[in-house]
Amino acid sequence: MNPANSSPKTHDVTLVEAVNLALHRAMADDERVVLLGEDIATNGGVFRATVGLKDSFGFKRVMDTPLAENLIAGTAIGMATQGLKPVAEFQFLGFIYAGMEQIVSHASRMRNRTRGRLHCPVVFRAPFGGGIHAPEHHSESTEALFAHIPGLRVVIPSSPRRAYGLLLAAIRDPDPVIFLEPKRIYRAVTQRVVDDGEALPLDTCFTLREGEDVTLITWGACVQETLQAAESLSGQGVSCEVIDVATISPLDRETLLCSVAKTGRAVIIHEACRNGGVGAEIAASIAEGAFLDLQAPVVRVTGYDTVMPYYRNEQYYLPQTDDIVRAVEQVIAL
């Protein structure tokens, strides 16, 4: 992982390994980057996202904290105000809430309230989403809570390459980023990633598949089912454009609106419950910006407005490929 190597190494990696690769790269490139969290140093993190980093960079830069999420969030903010670039890991998104006051009342507004005197370049990383048979509180998708807060970026990668490039971008960004990692696909896909230190843009959706008939808008683990649905629908002669939103906030409305203007139809797919979800903001943006291009109402395929069920029933909560296919058939029929 030496950045001084003349030609960048390529690695066949999973999403969680790509996170690890990006952390190695960011720490080697910039000594201001430090990591903190529970069980991240010696243990390498409960998902092994930080494995090897303590050996490469030492306990001074890879810190096991006491078990207190509020403290992790606030300590990271304090470090950031003094010129460090902390990357704080929360073991699961379901445990970040103790740190919400710090994130909402301080991280998001440090730059604004000091008129730029201090700023807060922190990355708050957390695995999120269902589908891994985890205990309760380990499976929710609450990205909308953070997308609602001005001053935060919310970024969700859905492939190893985007995990690498977006995490590098998040760490280099001078402002706070909530970086949510879809743990259901932490190890589902392997991709070849060039460890060249190239970041991806933080304010652009990724069009994964071009199509003419309908725009499928999604992010996180649902990208997998959405791509499967698009493939299946192409067999029926329906041409789907698939967009991975990836940068949930601030939202790249332009890419979404251009696509919907072309296809005239939109289906939004997300794991989170529907009420007040990010899908609602996207649907409203389409209504405001592309209403006259629409040939059918915007449809959402989402989790239900209830507590995430324990894992025996989680597959009934999570959007499945068939649910997406049926929703597309519905809007195409109109």
In angstroms, give the least distance from the CB of 228 to other proteins.
30
137 is catalytic: no
User: Considering only 38-46, 173-181, 192-200, 315-323, which stretch makes contact with other proteins by CB under 8 A?
Assistant: 173-181
Candidate list 2, 7, 115, 333; residue touching other proteins; CB under 8 A: 115
User: Considering only 170-178, 182-190, 220-228, 320-328, which stretch makes contact with other proteins by CB under 8 A?
Assistant: 170-178
Indicate the residue among 38 and 195 with the shorter CB distance to other proteins: 38
Candidate list 17, 89, 140, 175; residue touching other proteins; CB under 8 A: 175
- Residues 85-104 interacting with other proteins (rule: CB under 8 A): 86, 98, 101-102
Candidate list 105, 295, 313, 315; residue touching other proteins; CB under 8 A: 105
The whole-angstrom separation of Cα 197 and Cα 167 is 10
User: Considering only 5-13, 106-114, 130-138, 209-217, which stretch makes contact with other proteins by CB under 8 A?
Assistant: 106-114
User: Considering only 78-86, 211-219, 222-230, 302-310, which stretch makes contact with other proteins by CB under 8 A?
Assistant: 78-86
- Contact indicator for 47, 40 with CB cutoff of 8 Å: no
In angstroms, give the least distance from the CB of 39 to other proteins.
15
Candidate list 38, 252, 271, 314; residue touching other proteins; CB under 8 A: 252
Total chain residues near other proteins (CB under 8 A):
49
Indicate the residue among 112 and 275 with the shorter CB distance to other proteins: 112
- Residues 211-250 interacting with other proteins (rule: CB under 8 A): 249-250
CA distances to 104, 180, 225, 275, 298 from 314, in Å? 30, 20, 15, 18, 25
Candidate list 13, 23, 80, 205; residue touching other proteins; CB under 8 A: 80
Is residue 251 within the footprint of other proteins (CB under 8 A)? yes
Candidate list 9, 10, 55, 83; residue touching other proteins; CB under 8 A: 83
The whole-angstrom separation of Cα 210 and Cα 190 is 22
In angstroms, give the least distance from the CB of 52 to other proteins.
20
Q: Between β-strands 266-273 and 214-218, what pairing exists: parallel, antiparallel or unpaired?
A: parallel
Rg, the chain, Cα only? 20
Catalytic residue among 11, 106, 138, 270: 138
- Residue 29: how many CB atoms within 10 A of its CB? 14
The whole-angstrom separation of Cα 39 and Cα 50 is 9
- Binding region for other proteins (CB under 8 A): 34, 60-61, 63, 65-66, 68, 70-71, 73-84, 86, 98, 101-102, 105-106, 110-119, 150-151, 173-175, 203, 249-254
Catalytic residue list? 138
